[in-house]
Structure 1
Amino acid sequence: MTMERLAAGDILPDNNRAVLIGRVWSKREGGPCPVLVHEGQVHDLSGLAPTVSELLERPDLVGVLSRFDSYPVLGSLDAFLSGDAGELLAPVDLQAVKAAGVTFADSMLERVIEEQARGDATRAEEIRKKLAPVIGDNLRGVVAGSEKAAEVKKLLQELGLWSQYLEVGIGPDAEIFTKAQPMSSVGCGAKVGIHPISEWNNPEPEVVLAVRSDGVIVGAALGNDVNLRDVEGRSALLLGKAKDNNASCAIGPFIRLFDDGFTLSDLENAKVSLKVEGQDGFTMTGESLMSAISRKPSQLVGQLLNPNHQYPDGAVLFLGTMFAPVKDRRGAGQGFTHEIGDRVEIATPALGRLVNWVDRSDACPPWTFGSQALMRNLANRGLL
């Protein structure tokens, strides 16, 4: 598999004033470090907080980080991307990794298609032609939990087209599930994993919110919620098997903190693009408009974290994807599926570019550095 060497200019946001929090494995320090990326340099924030989870709890974080020259430089971003200084990790550690599903009209339709097809990709196009004119037209512009949503539900029930996916898509209760375990996400430049049993799968380009333990949304990153369509299509009860596998969750390249120049409102109007390039010459592109989401991000966070459910180490929340790829790859009517070696790029100007390469989950580097290993490492380095 060919994995190109990335450079800082390939992944950084367009705005050079962005306040970027990341996480690296530093060869010099002998372990993971929360970092500030500023003007192409990687500043060590371990003295401020040993974990990203603790770092993001600081209410004065943006102001504290404005004194960037107070924090030692571990090396250039290019040196970490080349492997000389270490490697780029997912910009999260102890936070819960959660995801909201079925939050865009187009992806709602595709989930219903998977359900109807029972995981058989060859039936998807036939079912899509049947359902799209009815379900798709009724879903667009519907606000979840609204009176209009209740009217659509009644209509589709009468037509015999109601689905458990539509219930969470436009009903009062969002689908919030655990995407991955804390410490298991991979970062920009790493391999992402597809379970070897899957023959129908896809990337899911998403915006990921960084949420403090008190429910305050402090920033955002990009994410790839790698999905096995055939597995989940067989049964919704296989969601865990379809979603949580080795290297199946990518987050990065960095968390951009909200400040005067970048707000949640800016994020709600972002356009997220996807590009897949295969070693077989296959290319696919698409985009997701955050403005098409059926629930506001703040509403999704309210369903994630509330008096009924707390996250003392904070959480990150994938907001769902509008883009469900249908471009034929292995043959007419079979739609899209990944092949080993695919290069996946998820991008938006405000957050940069998250780049990964596809491999089988059992061929990706195994996850071995968990919470216990982190605590031992930090203790040995005198950071606890």
Structure 2
Amino acid sequence: MSGFQFSPAVDLPADWRQGLFAGRIDRGEGPTPVIIRGGHLFDVAAIAPTVSELMEMDVSSIEGIDLGELEGFSLSAEEGAPVRLLSPIDLQCVKAAGVTFAVSTLERVIEERARGDASGALAIRQQLEKEVGSGLQTVVPGTEEAAALKSVLIEAGLWSQYLEVAIGPDAEIFTKAPVLSSVGWGQQIGVRSDSHWNNPEPEVVLAARADGTPVGAMLGNDVNLRDFEGRSALLLSKAKDNNASCSLGPFIRLFDEGFTLDDVRAMDITSRIEGPEGFTLEGVNSMSQISRDPTDLLKQCLSQHQYPDGFVLFLGTMFAPTEDRGAAGEGFTHKMGDKVSISSARLGRLINQVTTSKEAAPWRFGIRELMANLAARGLLTR
């Protein structure tokens, strides 16, 4: 494991003492929902045994058991740690919106045209930038202007299924990970060992109630395999949903007077990759450049399904690293041991270390185990 040590001064926003946060820890008994308020950590398991249930409540009025100052805890992601920090969600469905930024749209088209071969990406990228220009950055999806741009691209032989979801009326919404399978702050993230072109995707992730009301936001890494999806969009599930490929955290920052959905709309998410060979790469995901408003993405998600336990929604990213890490023209891909830091001034820092999905800790604690654990602790009273 990575051995990262959680620090509120580094891993939470500067105003964390004024904010309201929710998440999960394990002090040896099992997953325990907690809130952070006024700098203190509160155990709320007796009131809401799952974070899913907690999100349906008015968290600002919940007391819970005061465990003391957060800074007094030694939080770790290590298995068996006295106080282990877990992924902040449990029973919520994990959904994701794709191709929501113009830059990432072009990169998806490049993957498709390169058939998943990173060595052919550079020439295709240059051609698309020349032909499309800034058109994708200004068009509003689903409008007459978008339909006109679609016609132009078809005539030029540049149309793609990715452009359909980028500027058409229907957003791409997919399931990122099974319930309870996400990893949290400090844990290892996994890429398939047979992938040779992949990258992190730093994103804002909304937490929503069963009725779709957004109640907070957190950071997420939608680990992505570019070669698999580039070979065929029908391989999206293999490109996106693998062991340890979904990271969330460190906590959900709940909306209140000091933090709103407008803060999400204006947010910059920075990412930093530090490789074991000394390689470093930094980038920014600016939510102000998103093509679809977060509320529209929530509505489109709800148009597909009901979510009685609530859901979380990755909002997409404009971060698609193209810098060469190895041979010229082959772009970026992960190496085992990469340290990935995703940060936001309003949400804190999510940090993980890259390994293969085979070598990452296997996912064994599912819904059946969670219910048995809560029952044994006397927390299932209804």
Fold-level match, TM-score > 0.5? yes
Contact 1:141 1:292 (8 Å CA) reproduced: no
Distance, in Å, in 2 between the alignment partners of 1:123 and 1:6 is: 41
Match of 1:244 among 229, 241, 246: 241
The equivalent of 1:327 in structure 2 is: 323
Cα deviation digits, residues 339-359 of structure 1 (max 9, x gap)? 001010111111000000000
Amino acid corresponding to residue 284 of structure 2 in structure 1: E
Listed as ranges, the matches of 1:1-384 within 5 Å are: 3-16=3-16, 17-27=18-28, 30-38=29-37, 41-58=40-57, 60-62=58-60, 64-65=61-62, 67=63, 70-73=64-67, 76=70, 78-81=73-76, 84-306=81-303, 309-384=305-380
Contact 2:206/2:217 (<8 A) preserved = yes
Deviations 1:214-257 (A, max 9, x none): 11011000000000000110000000000000000000011011
Aligned partners of 2:2 and 2:187 also within 8 Å:
no
Alignment RMSD (CA, Å)? 1.5
CA distance in 2, matches of 1:173, 1:134: 24
Q: Distance in 1 between matches of 2:249 and 2:243?
A: 17
TM, length-normalised to structure 1: 0.95
Structure 2 CA distance, aligned partners of 1:135 and 1:221?
Answer: 33
Q: Distance in 1 between matches of 2:149 and 2:77?
A: 52
Structure 2: which amino acid aligns with 1:34?
P
Q: Using the TM superposition, name which of 268-277 and 40-49 deviates more.
A: 40-49
The percentage of counterpart residues that share the same residue type is: 56
- Aligned pair count reads 376
Change beyond 3 A, Cα 1:373–1:167: same
How far 1:7 sits from its partner (Å)?
2.2
Does the 8 Å CA contact 1:75/1:85 hold for their aligned counterparts?
no
Residues 108 and 79 of structure 1, relative CA distance in 2, 3 Å threshold: same
Deviations 1:133-173 (A, max 9, x none): 22242201211111211111111011010100010011000
Whether the aligned pair in 2 keeps the contact of 1:270 and 1:289 (CA below 8 Å) is: yes
Q: CA deviation at 1:297?
A: 0.3
CA offset at residue 40 of structure 1? 5.0
Q: Deviations over 1:237-281 (max 9, x none)?
A: 000000000000000011011111111011100011110001110
- Report the CA distance shift for 1:74/1:196 in structure 2 as closer, same or farther (over 3 A): farther
The 1-side partners of 2:2 and 2:244 are apart by: 18
Tell me the distance in 2 between the aligned counterparts of 1:136 and 1:346: 29
Shift of the 39–278 alpha-carbon distance from structure 1 to 2, 3 Å rule, reads farther
Aligned-partner residue type, residue 81 of structure 1: S
The gaps in structure 2 that reach 5 residues or longer are none
1:346 partner SS: strand
| Deviation digits for residues 164-218 of structure 1 (CA, Å, limit 9, x no counterpart) | 0010011000000000001000000000001001010000000000010011011
**CA distance, structure 1, for counterparts of residue 19 and residue 220 of structure 2:** 18
Distance (Å, rounded) in 2 between the aligned partners of 1:337 and 1:112: 18
User: What secondary structure, in the 3-state scheme, does the structure 2 residue paired with 1:140 have?
Assistant: helix
Task: Tell me, in whole angstroms, the C-alpha distance in 1 between the residues paired with 2:109 and 2:136.
Answer: 12
